[in-house]
């Protein structure tokens, strides 16, 4: 937040705004204390520093087996993606290309995100069905598929997890906007701003809008 | 009537012939025969016979003649319809409030259905009391009502490389503007009690995507809400029933639906939706993260490709919407000649913080082709940029945060097309 001096100002302004909202003299006494088991059941998130990682481990070869059973039908045997399902491996060196391939290996900054996301949301349609060891194993296999680890005997665990660094971590930066000219207290051009305007691109040439022959009322031909 | 009206409209859209005929009939119409819709009682059965009783429709629906005003999707955009997007029919709407049933949807694991009695909100982490709230608890907090736009970070994302989809529903329809009622997130956090090191909040959904986003604590204490109502009624299931997060001015992905947990921490979590997704790749291979604010933006909703000029030359209304995540919209300028000359449009109706604004501009169309654009300026002084200005900084692969000026080319028959111009 310190990177956003205006946010501090925003917060101050907000204090004034919220003063207009109903004021609280103190706690309302609403809600109840959560039990340890309740917090443990829902608080499954993991941070890049490893906070939240469960105990457990899984090897590349275990991961290959679980992946082929649970994941490969959409993501392909090697994480290459079936049909239009996400590609999980490869694409290294393509981020500056015209059509970049953004995968775990080529793009993702932190390994913790891989573990966290698989555990909370995958397999698609049957989330939170994998054991902690299965998720370690799949994560290890994805590291191997992405050449982040090259040893097929590699075992990933909560002990060595934080030692693994992803190749693209250094290429993320906090939002630097505004990044286009702004006109604070200045008038943008209103008359005779340019000699003429000429059409350079047309949507109808692509012709990919839903055609609406039956129901949309849109035609693009 | 629906079919007739729709068919004739489509016939018009199909070809210039229909337009010429229509204009001719209209022009000659001033002088002639009686209109049977006035003079013939048989043509007006509603005048003679009773209509529907009051118990015909306990929850009303729009006229059958408005059946074309619906959310639409573009199947090729995503691999699966449960992790996908649809679009608000902006071209058919007026004012600033989006009807609940037309608010675009974006799910990552489908729309969850949760009974209000089954809903729980956990507040944990760096708080004095690890807490659980029921919906009944939340409804006992002091509540506020605010009107805000929710714009998907990817709205207009398919247009980075050029003009692609032909209609503002598709180019700009990942947005809705709703009056929310809910509890300031600040009050719920204070009820649990914030600890000194608290700096970030993780918001988590109860759906099968387990949607999570890291939000700086300052924003949570500023204007975020746990909303239970939209436009006066309970949230729709597809909008997070029974409770969602409202994060005014910030990208829609952070407005976590089916909210189940708020965790307070000292660092961001860098989860999937703020690393793999909702980061903005630049041409040099680096990427921006935490691009939260939705910058000032506008679009002309009529005329537009789905809302052509059908009345011929003469008095014509240009209507559109503008919004900014950094405040209110101060001005909207409209051009009919592709930006050679601009005119200040009228802001019509309420001008609210981080809300959609309606603008109108009336002019006398002489039937010549038009290049229509709108350009919004917000109260922070930001002027909506051209797409070329954005591309000069960001390249064409950042997917998100395209707030560029949109151009519609209107031909002499009144048909409009999505184009880019020099």
| Residue A48 DSSP symbol | T
pLDDT over threshold 70, residue B164: yes
Using CB atoms, pick whichever of B13, B132, B293 lies closest to residue A32: B132
| Chain A residues closer than 8 Å to B108 by CB | 121
A11 contacts chain B (CB < 8 A): yes
Q: For residue A146, give how far its alpha carbon lies from the nearest alpha carbon of chain B (Å).
A: 15
Which residues are CB-neighbours of B241 under 8 A, at least 6 positions away? B113, B114, B116, B234, B235, B258
Shortest alpha-carbon distance between residue B24 and chain A (Å) = 23
Q: Where are the domains of chain B?
A: 82-288, 297-419
Is B191 close to A28, i.e. CB distance below 8 A? yes
Q: Is A9 helix (H, G, I), strand (E, B) or coil?
A: helix
pLDDT digit string, tens, across residues B402-416: 999 999 999 999 999
Q: What is the mean pLDDT of residues B121-130?
A: 97
Kindly indicate whether the domain formed by B297-419 is annotated with CATH number 3.30.450.70.
Answer: no
Question: Range of A89's domain?
Answer: 45-171
How many angstroms separate the CA of residue A78 from the nearest CA in chain B?
19
* pLDDT for residue B29: 52
Return the bridge partners of B227, or none: B182, B244
Q: Given pLDDT bands bounded at 50, 70 and 90, which one contains residue B97?
A: very high
B117 CA to chain A: closest CA distance, Å? 14
Task: State whether the Cα torsion A18-B144-B190-B256 is positive or negative.
Answer: negative
> B259 versus A187: which is more confidently predicted?
B259
Q: What is the pLDDT of residues A161-179, one digit of tens each?
A: 999 999 999 999 999 998 8
Give the chain A residue whose CA is nearest to the CA of B215. Answer: A1
- Considering the segment(s) B82-288 as one domain, its CATH architecture is Alpha-Beta Complex (3.90)
Q: Note the pLDDT of residue A220.
A: 27
CB distance from A100 to chain B under 8 Å? yes
Tokens of B29: 């119409």
Q: Cβ B393–A30 below 8 Å, yes or no?
A: no
Q: Is the pTM of this model over 0.80?
A: yes
Nearest-10 crossing angle of helices A60-70, A132-145: 100
Three-state DSSP at A24 gives coil
Tokens of B110: 């489908």
A&B contacts, CB < 8 Å: 294
The three-state secondary structure class of A121 is: helix
For A159-188, the DSSP string reads TTGGG---TTGGGEEE-----S---TTSPP
Rounded to whole angstroms, what are the CA distances from B303 to A99, B180, B407?
Answer: 34, 30, 11
Q: Phi/psi of residue A146, each to 5°? A: -100, 10
SS (H, E, C) chain B: CHHHHHHHHHHHHHCHHHHHHHHHHHHHHCCCCCCHHHHCHHHCHHHHCCCCCCCCCCCCCCCHHHCCCCCECCHHHCCCCCCEECECCHHHCCCCCCCHHHCCCEECCCCCCCCHHHCEEEEEECECCCEEEEHHHHCCCCCEEEEEEEECCCCCHHHCCCCCCCCHHHHHCCEEEEEEEEEEHHHHHHHHCECCCCCEEEEEECCCCCCEEEEEHHHHHHCCEEEEEECCEECCHHHCCCCEEECCCECHHHCCCCEEEEEEECCCCCCHHHCCCCCEECCCCCEEECCCECCCEEEEEECECCECCCCCCEEEEEEEEEECCCCCEEEEEEECECCCCCEECEEECCCCCCCCEEEEEEEEECCCCEEEEEEEEECCCCECCCHHHHHHHHCCCCCCCCCCCCEEEECCCCCEEEEEEC
Q: Round to whole Å and give the CA distance between B252 and B174.
A: 9
pLDDT interval class at B194 (50, 70, 90): very high
- In chain B, the residue whose alpha carbon lies closest to the alpha carbon of A7 is B218
- Average pLDDT on B27-39 reads 81
Residues of chain B with C-beta less than 8 angstroms from the C-beta of A107? 276, 281, 287
- pLDDT (mean) for B80-88: 91
Q: Which residues contact A194 (CB under 8 A, 6 or more apart)?
A: B339, B340
Distances (CA, A) of A124 to A112, A156, B298: 19, 23, 36
Residue range B306-325: average pLDDT? 98
pLDDT of residue B81: 87
**B367 in Cβ contact with B312 (< 8 Å):** yes
- Cis geometry, peptide bond prior to residue B303 (ω within 30 degrees of 0): yes
What is the rounded CA–CA span in Å between residue B336 and residue A189?
A: 15
Quick check: B191 and A28 in contact, CB under 8 A?
yes
Measuring CA to CA, how many Å separate A150 from each of A63, A141, A155? 14, 10, 12
Which parts of chain A have pLDDT scores under 50? 1-25, 212-221
Block residue for tokens 């009537």: B1
**Choice between B64 and A219, residue whose per-residue pLDDT is larger:** B64
User: How far away is chain A from the Cα of B49, in angstroms, using its nearest Cα?
Assistant: 31
**Greatest Cα pair distance in chain B:** 81
**For residue A188, what pLDDT is reported?**
87
The answer to whether the CB of B137 falls within 8 A of the CB of A33 is no
Give the nearest chain B residue to A116 (CA atoms): B271
**Are B145 and B183 within 8 A, CB to CB?**
no
CB contact at 8 A, B200 and B219? no
Rounded average pLDDT over B68-89: 91
In a domain, A131, yes or no: yes
Do residues A57 and A158 touch, judged by C-beta distance below 8 A? yes
Q: Which of B14, B125, B261 sits opposite A219 (nearest CB)?
A: B14
Find the CATH number of the domain harbouring A81: 1.10.760.10
Q: How far is A151 from chain B (nearest CA, A)?
A: 25
Residue B24: what pLDDT? 46
Rg of chain B over all Cα atoms, to the nearest angstrom: 24
Q: Is residue A180 part of a domain?
A: no
Chain B's closest residue to A30, CA to CA, is B137
Residue found by looking up tokens 């609406």 in the block: A212
Using an 8 Å CB-CB cutoff, list chain A residues near B193.
Answer: 27
Residue A181 is predicted with a pLDDT of 77
CA end-to-end distance (rounded Å), chain A:
50
Domain count, chain A: 1
Say what the pLDDT of residue A16 is. 44
How are beta strands B407-410 and B370-378 bridged, if at all? antiparallel
pLDDT of residue A9: 42
Note the pLDDT of residue B30: 60
Terminal alpha carbon distance of chain B: 43
Residues B189/B262, Cβ–Cβ less than 8 Å: yes
d(CA B15, CA B21) in angstroms, rounded, equals 11
Contact B210 A195 (CB under 8 A): no
- Please tell me the distance from the alpha carbon of residue B340 to that of residue B39, in angstroms, as a whole number: 49
A124: nearest CA in chain B? B109
Q: What pLDDT, on the 0 to 100 scale, is given for residue B95?
A: 98
Shortest alpha-carbon distance between residue B236 and chain A (Å): 22
Chain B residues in contact with A171 by the CB 8 A cut-off are 285-287
pLDDT of residue B19: 42
* Inside any domain, residue A13: no
Q: Would you say residue B28 has pLDDT above 80?
A: no
- Nearest Cα to Cα of residue A85 among A58, A103, A60: A103
Report chain A residues whose CB lies below 8 A from the CB of B165. Answer: 203, 208-209
* Position B7 pLDDT exceeds 70: no
Closest chain A CA to residue B74:
A210
Positive/negative CA dihedral, B165, B177, B403, B349: positive
% of residues, chain B, pLDDT over 70: 93
pLDDT exceeds cutoff 80 at B223: yes
- The strand pair at A57-59 and A155-157 is best described as antiparallel
């Amino acid at each position: 937040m310190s990177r956003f001096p205006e946010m501090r100002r925003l917060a101050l302004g907000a204090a004034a705004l919220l003063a207009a909202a109903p004021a609280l003299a103190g706690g309302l006494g609403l809600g109840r204390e959560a039990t340890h088991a309740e917090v443990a059941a829902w608080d499954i998130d993991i941070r890049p520093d490893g906070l939240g990682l469960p105990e457990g481990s899984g090897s590349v070869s275990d991961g290959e087996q679980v992946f082929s059973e649970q994941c490969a039908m959409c993501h392909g045997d090697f994480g290459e993606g079936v049909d239009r399902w996400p590609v999980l491996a490869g694409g290294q060196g393509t981020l500056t290309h015209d059509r970049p391939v953004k995968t775990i290996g080529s793009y993702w900054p932190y390994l913790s995100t891989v573990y966290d996301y698989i555990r909370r949301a995958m397999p698609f349609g049957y989330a939170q069905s994998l054991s902690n060891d299965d998720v370690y194993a799949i994560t290890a296999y994805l590291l191997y598929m992405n050449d982040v680890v090259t040893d097929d005997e590699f075992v990933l665990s909560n002990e060595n997890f934080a030692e693994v660094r992803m190749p693209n971590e250094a290429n993320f930066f906090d939002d630097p906007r505004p990044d286009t000219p702004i006109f604070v207290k200045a008038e943008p051009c209103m008359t005779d701003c340019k000699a003429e305007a000429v059409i350079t691109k047309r949507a109808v040439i692509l012709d990919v809008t839903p055609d609406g022959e039956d129901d949309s009322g849109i035609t693009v031909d | 009537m629906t079919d007739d009206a729709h068919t004739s409209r489509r016939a018009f859209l199909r070809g210039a012939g229909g337009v010429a005929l229509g204009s001719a009939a209209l022009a000659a119409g001033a002088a002639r025969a009686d209109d049977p819709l006035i003079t013939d009682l048989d043509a007006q059965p509603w005048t003679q016979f009773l209509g529907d009783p009051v118990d015909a429709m306990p929850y009303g629906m729009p006229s059958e003649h408005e059946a074309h005003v619906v959310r639409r999707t573009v199947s090729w955009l995503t691999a699966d319809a449960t992790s996908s997007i649809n679009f608000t029919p902006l071209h058919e709407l007026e004012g600033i409030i989006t009807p609940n049933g037309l608010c675009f949807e974006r799910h990552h694991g489908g729309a969850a259905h949760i009974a209000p009695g089954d809903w729980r909100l956990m507040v944990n982490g760096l708080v004095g009391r690890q807490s659980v709230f029921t919906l009944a608890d939340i409804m006992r907090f002091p509540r506020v009502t605010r009107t805000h736009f929710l714009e998907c970070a990817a709205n207009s994302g398919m247009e980075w490389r050029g003009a692609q989809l032909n209609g503002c529903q598709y180019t700009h329809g990942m947005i809705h503007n709703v009056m929310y009622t809910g509890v300031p997130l600040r009050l719920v956090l204070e009820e649990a009690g914030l600890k000194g090191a608290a700096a970030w909040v993780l918001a988590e959904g109860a759906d099968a995507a387990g949607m999570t986003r890291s939000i700086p604590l300052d924003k949570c204490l500023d204007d975020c809400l746990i909303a239970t109502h939209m436009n006066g009624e309970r949230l729709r299931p597809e909008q997070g029933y029974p409770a969602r997060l409202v994060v005014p001015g910030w990208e829609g992905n952070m407005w976590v639906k089916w909210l189940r947990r708020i965790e307070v921490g000292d660092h961001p979590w860098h989860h999937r939706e703020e690393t793999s997704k909702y980061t903005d790749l630049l041409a040099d291979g680096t990427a921006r993260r935490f691009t939260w604010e939705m910058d000032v933006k506008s679009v002309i909703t009529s005329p537009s490709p789905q809302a052509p000029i059908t009345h011929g030359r003469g008095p014509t209304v240009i209507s559109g919407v503008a919004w900014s995540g950094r405040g209110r919209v101060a001005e909207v300028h409209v051009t009919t000649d592709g930006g050679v000359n601009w005119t200040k449009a009228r802001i019509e109706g309420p001008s609210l913080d981080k809300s959609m604004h309606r603008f109108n501009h009336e002019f006398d169309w002489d039937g010549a082709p038009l290049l229509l654009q709108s350009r919004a300026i917000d109260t922070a002084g930001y002027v909506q940029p051209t797409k070329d200005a954005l591309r000069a900084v960001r390249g064409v692969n950042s997917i998100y945060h395209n707030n560029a000026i949109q151009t519609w080319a209107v031909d002499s028959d009144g048909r409009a097309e999505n184009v880019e111009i020099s």
